[in-house]
Amino acid sequence: MELGVFERQLRLMVLLTQNREYSIDELCRKLDLSRRTLYRYLELFRDIGFEVVKQHNVYRLDKASPFFKEITQLIHFTEDEALTLRHVLDMASDTDVQVRHLRHKLERIYDFGILNAMEADPVHAENLQRLYEAVKLHRQVVFHDYSSPHSGTTTDRVVEPYCFLDHHDAIRCYELRSGQNKTFKVSRIGRVEILDLLWSNEDRHVRVRTDLFRFSGEERLPVVLRLGRLSCNLLKEEYPQAAHCLQPDGDGHWLLSTEVCSFRGVGRFVLGLYEDVEVLGSDEFKAFLKRKAEDLAAKAIGGKMGHEECPRQGFRQGRAEEKRAIARNLKSSGFPLAAISEATGMPLSELEQL
């Protein structure tokens, strides 16, 4: 019994060391713990010297905890050493699984967004360091001389920063004046000033996430795909983190069930490999793909017929032979028959014979 308790505590420690997304409820499900027991373990970690950090509903163990420093001192790298290792790994092949694994392990320990900035631009690095501190300490900050391309103005913004995005190129903040969650480009900030004020709107912070296809946002849009061997292999090579989302589905096929922040990334993947991918859901994603296919057909038709009219109008007003010739060209270019039929008004049986 004691061994079981100790094992769960160790597993929780491992999860919290690298935690960026698991909520309290998700941790409880993973470890089969009650919320009361989980909170008791967190208090135990504090009592024995760990720094337990809470951001929104996500808890993690700070790597600056004295206990971590003690057990890692023999394998600790200086910041210069860590950057050198990262540069060596960046020169290696990105398709090598071990190289990606080593790079991922280093990124868990060292903040390369800040370390790289220190090499390139001291002012940018100082802003990043202050933002990192403000997020960690839950402080409000002022972005002095923030240059906004949308409004064409340079103003000061008082915000509560809470989440870095896009490899530290942007940061998610709650802006006090507008009462909105916004994404700010770090490069557009003149100077960051940390205020002696704690967050006062944490309940209004909306976390964004990055999906498998590297699109970030607040939305969670369900997508279900049935992949053949080619599309499955290409998915894992281009997006290695997708491997844990794949489930075998018969001989030579796999199911991918995930949530994305935008249909654009997964849409590009599906349209590029449409012959090897079956879209099972959602209806919204199917409608998105249909619109994209019609747009592609419209561009192709516009180039062939010399006008920019809607495909359906252009085809149906054209001569039958010209219609078949363009449909034949679209088919040879790899357009789905369903999309060609929708654009031309030609039945599938006739298209199959072209």
What band does 63 get if pLDDT is binned at 50, 70 and 90?
low
Please give the pLDDT value at position 10. Answer: 82
Please report the domains of the chain, with CATH numbers, ordered by start residue.
Answer: 2-71 (1.10.10.10), 77-110 (no CATH), 118-206 (2.30.30.30), 210-280 (3.30.70), 288-353 (no CATH)
Report the pLDDT value the prediction gives residue 76, as an integer from 0 to 100: 55
CA distances from 263 to 133, 234, 259, 266 (A): 34, 18, 10, 6
Arithmetic mean of pLDDT, 74-94: 57
* Cα separations in angstroms, 159 against 110, 183, 202: 26, 11, 11
Q: How confident is the model at residue 217 (pLDDT cuts 50, 70, 90)?
A: confident
Query: Which H or E run contains 161?
Result: strand 153-165
| Percentage of residues in the chain having pLDDT higher than 70 | 69
**pLDDT, tens digit (0-9, with 9 covering 90-100), for 37-53:** 988 988 888 888 888 88
**Strand spans (E) along 166-273:** 170-175, 180-185, 191-198, 209-210, 216-217, 221-227, 246-248, 254-260
Write the burial class of residue 213 (CB in 10 Å: 0-12 exposed, 13-18 middle, 19+ buried).
Answer: buried
